[in-house]
Amino acid sequence: MNRQQAKELVQRYNQGLATAEERDLLENWYLHKSDSLSLEEDEIDFNRVDATLRLATFTYAGLKLHSDAPQIKRIKLWPRIAAVASIVVVLAAGLFYYANTTNSRSGRLNLSTSNDIAPGSNKAVLTLADGKQLILTGAKNGALANEQDARIKKTADGQLVYEGTTETQAAALYNTITTPRGGQYTIMLSDGTKVILNAASSLKYPTAFKGKDRTVTLTGEGYFEVAHNKAKPFKVINNGQTVEVLGTHFNINSYTDEPNIKTTLLEGSVNVNGTLIKPNQQALVGGSQLIVKEVNAADAVAWKDGVFKFDHTDMKTSMRQIARWYDVEVVYEGNVENEQFYGKIDRSYTLSEVLKVLELSNVHFKIEGKKIIVSP
C-alpha cells in the first residue's frame, strides 16, 4: 500500500465509510509499515477527531478511558501499538490518527522509565507432602518428584503435571503450589483438571483424588477447567465458600483485599454455597450474602490470556490488579475515587508502559522504587 492509498483509507475512516475489508487492509498495512512510516498531520482531520474525543470515550493502546458521554462502538487495536514509543494511536468512532508523544497537547506522558518494573511471569513454589519446597521457576523440565500415588513433572511449556500411578489404600498426600506477587503458574492435577493460578495465590490438593469427591483449597485467584467425572464431584473451598461442579470452566477471585469472592462461570454449571449459576453469570459472596448477576465471563478470565480487562472498573480495583502483577505498593495522594477505566492492556507491558496509558485519564503516576504514587 502506498501513502496515497493509506490517506484515502484514513479519509474513509474519518467519514465512517470504511468497509470491514478496508479496515483489515489498513491494519495489515500498519503492522508492516509502522516501524518506518507514519502519516503526516495534514492527512488527518484533527478537528473532527478532537470533537469526537470530547464527546465520547477514547482508546489508546487498547484502553478506553471512560467519560460520561454515550459509549461508542469499540474498534480493535493492535497489541504492538503501546510498544511503539514514538507514536500515539487513537481510534474512536471510526477515526484514528498518529501524533508524536513529545508533542502531546496534554504534555502528560512524561513518566520516567529509569526505574521501570518488568511484568510478572511464570513463578511458583511447590510444597510437597513432607514439607520439602521446590522452586519451579528455575527447575529443569522433566521429572521433579515422586509422591505416593503420582509422578510430578515440569513440561517444556512451563506447566506442572501430575501423572497417576497405581492408587494405594493409604491416606491421601497433599501438595501446595504457591505463586508470589508478580507470578502465575499452570498445573494439571492427577484427574486431568487444569488450574491456572494468578499472582499471590495458592492451591492445596491431593496428589491423587480418593474417596467420593475431588476437593481442593484455593486462596487468591484461579481459573479451573475441571475434568468431567460424574461419580466424583469437584469442590473448591476458599474463604468459607464452597464451589461444587462435575466438569466445567470457571474462575474464582477470592483475594482477601477484594470486597467479595467472585465466581464466574464460562461453561457448564456450578453450585456456589447451594446456589446454581449458569454460563456468563457471576456469584458474589460477601459475608452471609450471595448475589448472582449477568456478566461477560470472558472479562473475568482475561488475566489468564495475558490481558488487564477493565469494564468501568474503579481506580482502586484496577490498581490492585496492577500491584499484584508488578509486585508493587500503591499510595494515593488526593482524590481519585471517581476515576473508572474501560478497555484492556497487555500484561506483557512494563509498568511504565501501562501507567502511561492510564495517565491519559485524569490521574498521574510516579514510580518510586517498588511504589506507585497516584495523584489527580
Specify whether the CB–CB gap between 250 and 265 falls below 8 A: yes
What is the pLDDT, as a whole number, of residue 77? 28
Indicate where the chain has its CATH 3.55.50.30 domain(s): 306-375
Specify whether the CB–CB gap between 199 and 182 falls below 8 A: yes
- Helix (H/G/I), strand (E/B), else coil: 206: strand
Specify whether the CB–CB gap between 299 and 313 falls below 8 A: no
Q: Look at residues 349, 316, 371 and name the one whose alpha carbon lies nearest to residue 60.
A: 349
**Each residue's pLDDT expressed in tens, for the chain with a length of 376 residues:** 455 665 666 666 556 676 766 655 554 444 444 444 344 434 444 343 333 333 333 333 344 444 333 332 232 323 333 322 222 222 222 222 222 222 332 333 345 555 789 999 999 999 999 999 999 988 889 999 998 888 999 998 889 999 876 666 678 899 999 999 999 999 999 999 999 999 999 999 999 998 889 999 999 999 999 999 988 999 999 988 999 998 899 999 999 999 999 999 999 999 999 999 999 999 999 888 899 999 999 999 999 999 998 888 888 999 999 999 999 999 999 887 777 887 788 899 899 988 888 887 778 899 999 999 998 8
What is the pLDDT, as a whole number, of residue 318? 92
Q: What are phi and psi of 315, to 5 degrees?
A: -55, -50
Query: Kind of pairing, strands 183-188 and 194-197?
Result: antiparallel
Q: Look at residues 322, 324, 329 and name the one whose alpha carbon lies nearest to residue 352.
A: 322
What is the pLDDT, as a whole number, of residue 114? 59
Q: What is the spatial distance between Cα 53 and Cα 273, in angstroms, rounded to a whole number?
A: 45
What is the pLDDT, as a whole number, of residue 22? 64
Instruction: Please tell me whether the overall predicted TM-score, pTM, comes out greater than 0.75 for this model.
Output: no
What is the pLDDT, as a whole number, of residue 322? 96
Residue 155 neighbours by CB under 8 Å, 6+ apart = 141, 161
Indicate where the chain has its CATH 2.60.120.1440 domain(s): 121-295
Rg (CA), the chain: 24
Q: What is the spatial distance between Cα 38 and Cα 98, in angstroms, rounded to a whole number?
A: 7
What is the pLDDT, as a whole number, of residue 24? 55
Which secondary structure element, helix H or strand E, spans residue 262, and what is its range?
strand 261-267
- Helix (H/G/I), strand (E/B), else coil: 356: helix
What is the pLDDT, as a whole number, of residue 6? 58
Q: Which CATH architecture has domain 121-295?
A: Sandwich (2.60)
Which CATH number applies to 306-375: 3.55.50.30, 3.30.920.30, 3.40.50.2300, 3.10.20.30?
3.55.50.30
Residue 3 neighbours by CB under 8 Å, 6+ apart = 37
